Amino acid sequence: MSLKDIAKALGISVTTVSRALNGYDDVSADTRARVEAEAQRRGYRPNTFARRLKMGKIDAVGLVFPVRPAPLNNSVFFDMVAEISRELARHEIDLLLIADDEQADKHSYMRLVQSRRVDALIVAHTLENDPRLEPLLAAGFPFLTLGRSSLPQPYAWFDFDNYAGTRAATRYLIERGHRRIALLGEDNNQAFIVQRRCGYLDALRESGLSQAWLRRVPQTRRGGFQATLALLALPEPPTAIITDCNTHGDGAAMALAQAGRLTGDDRVALVVYDGLPEDSIIDVPVAAVVQSTRQGVGRQVADMVRRLIAGDDVATLQVLWQPEFRPGETA
């Protein structure tokens, strides 16, 4: 089975078939779909080794994530990684997961960079000033970050407007009369965590409200559960709680449900970033800040990585998506 057979069956050129199967943007979506369907029907598999020799590519991308805190415990992050992997696999590109321990003597991903065993890196859970990125810039190695950092020159990144998400949720609660609003936030300085915290704090500051109910807790259900019970026990408990991740949110929802304060006239308003996990035992539709679908994110990031490998200008590979606030039944 060859490209010529597919081209003949579809009445198009071999070049068009080749470019469709290799994901080039100058092939229409309809033609690409026809080519992929015919290739699958005929059981065609490209000679990836020959293509790698010809193109000088490895057909592998590394995704670097920190060991601490453990992001693979976060269902949102894990689902996003799965979708990125699935989308890259459609173009015969493998995704390698690289756990990076900041306390180790040498970053493990730099061995892959120096030996050119991957075509590009995706760097997840960035910091405002991220020490992982400067060596990549210095080496001229292609990378895309999930999050934004301060760097001296342009680079490729994909991010959600985390600041806008918590600011919108906080302002929504303020407009409905809440004056004692808590935030359960992760206790680390990753960029998206800091941005969500700042959105909450700025919304409070704009309305002259206190930040006395801000809590930094471990990224666990237990952390969210215990922090919520402690807030409810205060002489002046909050009338609303925002959580900056759905793990905290699940714990908070369980604590409120146990106290009889999740729904009803005496409820404490609850807003959960990313909504409750799919395996939550709470079946109440909570208010949520929603960040598109995992499939949408996977397609977007995979497309950006492929363009990065192809040599597109990094200034054209900077994408900021806006979150959406959904009131649910708890706000």
The per-residue pLDDT for range 183-216, each reduced to its tens digit, is 999 888 888 999 999 999 999 999 999 999 999 9
Separation of CA 60 from chain center: 20
State how far the Cα of 6 lies from the Cα of 38, in Å rounded to an integer.
7
Q: How far is CA 236 from CA 43, 106, 230, 298, in A?
A: 67, 48, 11, 43
Contact criterion met (CB below 8 Å) for 166 and 200: yes
- Asked if residues 191 and 146 have their Cβ atoms less than 8 Å apart, the reply is no
- Tell me if residue 241 falls in helix, strand or coil: strand
Pairing of strands 318-321, 287-290: unpaired
* CATH of region 3-46, choose from 1.10.287.470, 3.40.50.20, 1.10.260.40, 3.30.565.10: 1.10.260.40
Tell me how many degrees the CA angle 256-216-232 measures, rounded to the nearest 5: 30
Cα–Cα distance between 65 and 63 in angstroms, integer? 6
Pick the CATH number of 55-160+293-322 from 1.10.8.50, 3.40.50.620, 1.20.120.420, 3.40.50.2300: 3.40.50.2300
pLDDT at 57 over 90: no
Number of neighbouring beta carbons within 10 Å of residue 176: 12
Residue type at 17 in one-letter notation:
V
Of these ranges, 45-59, 103-117, 273-287, the one predicted with the greatest mean pLDDT is: 273-287
Q: Quote the CA–CA distance of 305 and 320 in Å, as a whole number.
A: 15
Q: Return the SS3 of 79.
A: helix
Q: Assess whether pLDDT exceeds 70 at residue 70.
A: no
Query: What tens digit of pLDDT does each residue of 272-324 get?
Result: 999 998 889 999 999 999 987 778 888 899 999 999 999 999 999 999 999 99
165 within 8 A of 289, measured Cβ to Cβ: yes
Would you give the DSSP letter of residue 190?
Answer: B
| Rounded Cα gap, residues 157 and 168, in angstroms | 23
What is the chain's mean pLDDT, rounded? 88
pTM: 0.76
**Cα gap 219→250, rounded to integer Å:** 11
Contact status, residue 163 vs residue 195, Cβ threshold 8 Å? yes
Mean pLDDT, residues 1-12 taken together: 84
Q: What pLDDT, in 10s, does the model give residues 148-188? A: 988 888 999 999 999 999 999 999 999 999 999 999 998 88
Question: Can you give the residue ranges of every domain in the chain?
Answer: 3-46, 55-160+293-322, 162-290
The reply to whether domains 55-160+293-322 and 162-290 share a CATH topology is yes
Nearest in space to 75 (alpha carbons), one of 221, 277, 267, 309: 277
Overall average pLDDT of the 7-12 stretch: 89
Please identify which residue in the block is written with the tokens 């408990």.
Answer: 237
Q: What is the CATH topology of the domain spanning 162-290?
A: Rossmann fold (3.40.50)
* pLDDT for residue 69: 59
Structure token digits, residue 66: 């920190």
* Sheet arrangement for strand 181-186: 214-217, 181-186, 240-243, 269-273, 287-290, 324-326
Closest CA relative to residue 143, chosen from 178, 187, 174, 112: 112
| Torsion 77-230-279-246 (CA) sign | negative
* Contacts of residue 83, Cβ cutoff 8 Å, sequence gap at least 6: 294, 295, 297, 298, 299
